[in-house]
Chains A and B, each alone.
With several copies, the nearest count.
Chain A
């Protein structure tokens, strides 16, 4: 890891932490129920990918791990809060929810729906990279429960069959669940692909492992399946661990660490202050563009009589749309 990368990681870790604290304190915002919160390892993993702002970098679906990976891919706290607060200024104009959204320029692809599906979608994106001979790869975080869905298997099978450059991270689930396959390495073997399990590994170790997986993927070596254990239990500790590692190893001084923390916090606080003042969405604008082939909304509000004899009707009360 370079010094820059370490600083970014620290910064994004503090950003995420401040975001989650702020949301909890806000009284009016809520994380979506299924979000597992910030596990700094998800930021580390995401940092091993190629980042860009012109749509030519790697692609990441943060899935249940957002906001970590999204921050690593350049999503801003302001965007998060707009999304959470359903502001008209939010990335999806408040139409869709969840903690991730799509911004293909920065390589972010959002999803708030059923598990398993994004492994299919990212497999197809990775296919496009391979087809064009680009040095790009796809990264998708999925709840471990995605393994229960047939959709996930179809996606992984497709990725494995075509050896596309994709890294699939399965995040261990805190909840009970049933019928779940925990033998991720055996699943990978069944599909003839690589597998890695991450548990108490150091951040530097995780970084090296994932960098390797990304390199192999981009060189045509095929998918890697990553089992990320313990994501829900020690989700905070891991960031502190990382910070103290960076200190101990001499990558940053106490003073530098504190100023990184403060800068991250200031940015997040600013975003909180800002979204309170922002307006909600305007229905006509937000919804107009996305309907295909829909007729006018309320046909009985038409002002002209439908009668052949041309008798005019009084204009109807009520909102007339379109």
Chain B
């Protein structure tokens, strides 16, 4: 690593705990140093360092041809990234807010996702950016975007919940030959309680494998992203009622780690799915189908879910807090299910 690296990519090297955001920055920096084919594209990611300053200092180190400021045209520059990927580069596209992936929906689902299928070869491309609510960003700066893409064969979707996973999974995503949508929850970016020491060596976490964040016997909670932390809080509260909760952090949403989910449900017999995203058409449905297909006989109660309500993300704090799933909601549902 060059000695003039910005401080937010040197935490691990200097043995300090890193925030989620720093972990992302470290992954990008290390991958760019490791592989000259890796380059970045996005709005104001160069001199400005990006809306969340993830890429501060990158243009000084890697130059303007590998840290590319783009016009406001998410569809166009995602298409361009695809072309560069065809030619052997490994683009990492930043959406300033992941909400702005919508104009790229066409090119991502019809072009990028179908490349391998159409015989145009693998298309290594990462689209990453901040997602999620709780920041009073309103309907256009708070969305979770997984369900816009979850139904598209050919894409992978990653949504980490810890700095170590964020770093290790982003490295995997960049090295993966398939296109990967990579969601980073804004509420985790700088959260102090999330800081952690990251492994010193090249830290890679495989895509497609869930993590058991907490082991338990009575009830399985399947969740991801910020909701992993909410669910662990709820589990601690439920533990006081002697309800032993197992918390599965999906980490990768597509492909879904069916094995881990099924194994846990076969053990506990109860399944609660917690997602921050809105309810109808959320990922809970697919999980419910998979569990029906492979663990129905083990179920001792209905599969339930705690989610945001079916609404755009509200602007005002009062409304947003009402809209988002809370720890109390998870506790209530957990108690209900455990008594079932």
Report yes or no: A280 in contact with B318, Cβ–Cβ below 8 A. yes
- A185-207 interface bits toward B, Cβ cutoff 8 Å, 1 = contact, 0 = none: 00000000000000000000000
A-facing residues in B249-284 (Cβ within 8 Å) = 254-256, 258, 279-280
Near A by CB (< 8 A), chain B positions 43-70 give 44, 47-48, 65-66, 68-70
| A158: contacting residue among B39, B77, B314, CB under 8 A | B77
Binds A, one of B7-15, B220-228, B329-337: B329-337
B68 to chain A: which residues have CB within 8 Å?
Answer: 127, 162
- The interface residues of chain A lying within 8 Å CB-to-CB of B214 are none
Q: How far is the CA of A149 from the CA of B91 in the complex (A)?
A: 21
Indicate whether A120 sits within 8 Å of B100 (C-beta atoms), given known contacts A131-B65, A286-B319. no
Say yes or no for A225: interface residue by CB 8 A criterion. Answer: no
Contact yes or no, A292 B83, CB < 8 A:
no
Q: A292 with B107: in contact, given A93-B119, A178-B70 (CB under 8 Å)? A: no
Residue B89 lies at the interface, judged by CB distance under 8 Å to chain A: yes
With CB as the reference atom, state the residue of chain A lying closest to B307. A297
Instruction: List residues 154-192 of chain A with CB under 8 A from any CB of chain B.
Output: 154-155, 157-158, 161-162, 176-180
Of the residues A102, A138, A146, A291, contact of B119 by C-beta under 8 Å: A102
Quick one: CB contact mask for A53-97 with B, threshold 8 Å, 1 for yes? Answer: 000000100000000000000000000000000100001111111
The answer to whether A59 touches B290 (Cβ under 8 A) is no
A125–B70 alpha-carbon span in the complex (Å): 15
Query: A101 at interface (Cβ–Cβ under 8 A)?
Result: yes
In the complex, the answer to whether A86 meets B315 with C-beta atoms within 8 Å is yes
A117 interfacial contact with B, CB 8 Å: yes
Cα distance A130–B103 in the bound complex, in angstroms:
26
B87 A125 Cβ-Cβ under 8 A: yes
Q: A150-B73, A180-B71 are in contact. Are A298 and B118 (CB under 8 A)?
A: no
CB nearest to A122 among chain B residues: B83
Contacts known (A94-B319, A295-B258, A300-B337); A117 close to B118, Cβ less than 8 A = no
What is the minimal beta-carbon distance from B278 to any residue of chain A, in angstroms? Answer: 9
Do A124 and B80 touch (CB < 8 A)?
yes
Residues A95 and B76 in contact in the complex (CB < 8 Å), given A109-B86, A176-B47, A291-B309 = no
Answer whether residue A212 sits at the interface, using C-beta atoms and an 8 A cutoff: no
Q: CB-CB < 8 A to B317: which residues of A? A: 86, 280
Beta-carbon contacts under 8 Å, B85-122 to A? 85-89, 91, 100, 103, 106-107, 110-111, 114, 116-121
Complex interface: chain B residues within 8 A of A291 (CB) = 153, 309-311
B residues less than 8 Å from A138 (CB atoms): 83
B294 x A299 contact (CB < 8 A): yes
Of B20-28, B183-191, B195-203, B295-303, which binds chain A?
B295-303
- The tally of residues in A whose CB lies under 8 Å from a CB in B reads 75
Question: Is A95 a contact of B117 with CB atoms below 8 Å?
Answer: yes
A157 and B331 CA atoms in complex are apart in Å by 52
Q: Is the interface of A mostly helix, strand, loop or mixed?
A: loop
> Which of A158, A294, A317 makes the CB contact (< 8 A) with B70?
A158
Q: Are B140 and A114 interface neighbours, CB within 8 A?
A: yes
A197 to B66, CA, bound (A): 35
Q: Who on chain A is nearest to B254 by CB?
A: A293
In the bound complex, CA of A110 to CA of B121 (Å): 11
B146 nearest CB across to chain A (Å):
13
Residues of A within 8 A of B81 (CB): 124
A151 to B44, CA, bound (A): 20
How far is B73's CA from A178's CA once the two chains are assembled, in angstroms? 11
Q: How far is the CB of A127 from chain B (nearest CB, A)?
A: 5
How far, in whole Å, are A113 and B100 apart by their CA atoms in the complex? 9
> Could you name 22 residue pairs across A and B whose Cβ atoms are closer than 8 Å?
A59-B86, A95-B119, A109-B86, A117-B107, A120-B82, A127-B68, A127-B83, A128-B87, A150-B73, A150-B103, A158-B71, A158-B76, A283-B319, A283-B323, A286-B314, A289-B116, A291-B309, A292-B155, A293-B156, A294-B311, A300-B293, A318-B329
Known contacts A94-B319, A179-B70; 16 additional CB pairs below 8 A are A59-B86, A96-B312, A98-B138, A102-B86, A109-B86, A110-B119, A114-B103, A127-B83, A148-B73, A151-B75, A157-B71, A293-B255, A297-B309, A298-B332, A306-B296, A316-B336
- Report, nearest first, the 3 A-B pairs whose CB atoms are least far apart: A293-B255, A154-B76, A120-B79
